[in-house]
Amino acid sequence: MIRSVDVPNAVRNAEVAQVLYDIADLLEMKGEDRFRPIAYRRAAREIEAMPEDIERLWRQGGVPRLRQIQGVGEAIAEKIDQYLREGTVKALEELQKEFPRGLVDVMKLRGIGPKRSAILWKSLGITDVKDLKKAAENRQIRRLKGFGEKTEQRILEAIRLHEEGQSRTLLSVAWPIAEEILAYLRKNAPIDKASIAGSARRMRETVGDLDLLVTSAEPPAAIRAFTSMPSVKEVILAGDTKATVILAARIQADVRVLEPGSWGAGLVYFTGNKDHNIHLRTMAQERGWKLDEYGIFDGKKKIAGETEEDVYGAFNLPWIPPEIREENGEIEAAQAGTLPRLVELKDIRGDFHVHTNRSDGVDPLEAMVDAAVARGYEYVGISDHSPAVVVANGLDPQALRMHRAAIRALNRELRGKITVLAGTECDILDAGALDYPDEVLKELDYAVASVHSKFTLPEDEQTERVIKAMKNPYVNIYAHPTTRLIGSRDPIEIDLEAVMEAAAATGTALEVNAYPNRMDLHGGYARMAKEKGCVLAVDTDSHSRGHLENMRFGVGTARRGWLEAKDVVNAWPLDRVRAFFR
């Protein structure tokens, strides 16, 4: 049986979800009824996004309690029960025996899928990504019927993306693990201060490893607590004030124990980025000072170091938010007194990109709205898919009208507790046509337009297609503008500068999509959009209640883009939002 004591909730839920994803992948490869893999993936998404600890729920009531989780039926609940009891699922083991273990990774590569992976296995003996890369580089794949040279090149590109994704961890996965490690240390070691540092603190969409800082009167005790955590798989280094471990979640974590008087200097130094730190050190050298992780020194005299404010204040600078410490003009802006007041999570009044189980979401309308109420939102927009997205059970016009009616009825029941806006995520079709006619769109409160097809169009065609869609008077938001999926799909070829200019001209908000593997627009593009005169919407693209929690990462990305509350549509009051949508 797997040891469960003190395993972080985010790690345990991710473990269970991964088991279900693996079963779904293998069922699909086997050619099972397509609805079975869909059911497993829906349950996995729900568990992945749950704020509750699935093991705690299981201990409260076993299989019956698991069945209360949205999307978890009897068969899936029994498999989860077996995994939590025994650390394995017999059904998964039986499926794994039918295929080489590495074939699942091949199937997940962009453009391959279950059928092609089976052909590659049977025709060329390919059993993992390493075999596939070798076959593609040796030009063996192009000889297979239905593949060809272009497909072979696309496979090599997909492998590159896969390899890049393997080396880094999504922020939304890494952040809760880091938080739970710090909570563990506070409980089990004499810790005074504790913080996440590094690229995670700067809210980069992916992180290479976790950097954690603490202060303690007993550094060895803090190090012992860190290296003996149940979630530690391997200890790489354990010194007096520093330790490095590999976690069971397959991510490296480093902890450094600082003296209280060096807390601020250490935070600045270990948050980075490298170029920002070099700029500060250069400023120190110009004054005849030394700046390092211990503080600012004039000879042997320590000038500052206890707080970050002290460190920046020594240079007559205000405190600079971690998210913009990228050496992109933030120090010059601080010197000129023009640093923006960055948008904060507390500024967010709602979310416009939310799916329910009427299309490809896990939870029903009422559950999604209840979750928005729990977050204190003033409004929430429901934007289920249009019919072109067949795999997402997109709604035809009649179904959309029924969905809109249900939203209106729910609003009457809520009596002002929150306002539910009836919208859609409407596909942009060929040449910029929309998946719904105008007479359907005009019945809604707003429309989100997005690209879900023809990702390989030439740049001029793709750009023209998107701009034409934005010119439709009923389109209010252009979602995940580059369509990238981190680690699995490159951005489309599109002239974003032209798109931003069109968005500013047409009054279309561009989206900062907070879905973990999208983060699209990323911070750099968000800043460019602001400079082009655009407004932006920070949305979660939620497919379950738990996904609404990802707003904090969307806000982090918006802050990386130097956005203020005035730049973010869903930081505006409802009356202003309605006026903007009109």
Q: Provide the pLDDT for residue 167.
A: 67
DSSP 557: H
Query: Which segments of 155-217 are extended strands (E)?
Result: 169-170, 191-196, 206-207, 210-216
Banded pLDDT at 4 (limits 50, 70, 90): very low
Q: Provide the pLDDT for residue 323.
A: 98
Residue 135 to residues 120, 139, 154, 299, 489, Cα–Cα distance (Å): 10, 6, 13, 61, 21
For the stretch 157-201, pLDDT in tens is: 888 877 766 668 889 889 999 999 999 999 999 999 999 999 999
H helix intervals, 257-375:
263-271, 274-286, 308-313, 330-336, 365-374
For the stretch 526-563, pLDDT in tens is: 999 999 999 999 999 999 888 999 999 999 999 999 99
DSSP 394: P
Predicted TM-score of the model (pTM): 0.81
- Look at residue 79 and tell me whether its pLDDT is greater than 80: yes
Show the tokens assigned to 161: 């993306």
Show the tokens assigned to 236: 């790489």
> Which domains are assigned to the chain?
9-167 (1.10.150.110), 169-258 (3.30.460.10), 263-336 (3.30.210.10), 345-581 (3.20.20.140)
- Which of 65-69, 73-77, 432-436 is the least confident region? 65-69
Maximum pairwise Cα distance, the chain: 76
Banded pLDDT at 581 (limits 50, 70, 90): very high
Residue 47 to residues 108, 173, 556, Cα–Cα distance (Å): 20, 14, 24
- Look at residue 2 and tell me whether its pLDDT is greater than 50: no
Residue 440 to residues 404, 418, 443, 478, 488, Cα–Cα distance (Å): 11, 25, 6, 18, 34
The residue type at 228: S
Could you give the CA distance from residue 321 to residue 521 in angstroms, rounded to a whole number?
20
Contacts 24+ apart (CB under 8 A), 128-133: 128/100, 128/101, 128/102, 128/103, 129/102, 129/105, 129/159, 129/162, 130/102, 131/102, 132/106, 132/159, 133/159
Q: Among residues 437, 428, 417, which one has the least CA distance to residue 461? A: 428
**H or E, element range at 450:** strand 448-450
Token pair 């930081």 is at which residue? 571
Q: Are 98 and 91 in contact (CB under 8 A)?
A: no
Q: Provide the pLDDT for residue 70.
A: 78
- Look at residue 449 and tell me whether its pLDDT is greater than 90: yes
Q: Other CB atoms closer than 10 Å to residue 566's CB: what's the count? A: 13
Q: Are 178 and 210 in contact (CB under 8 A)?
A: yes
Banded pLDDT at 11 (limits 50, 70, 90): low
The residue type at 214: V
Banded pLDDT at 6 (limits 50, 70, 90): very low
Q: Are 222 and 216 in contact (CB under 8 A)?
A: yes
Banded pLDDT at 375 (limits 50, 70, 90): very high
Show the tokens assigned to 322: 């971690």
Show the tokens assigned to 275: 């170029």
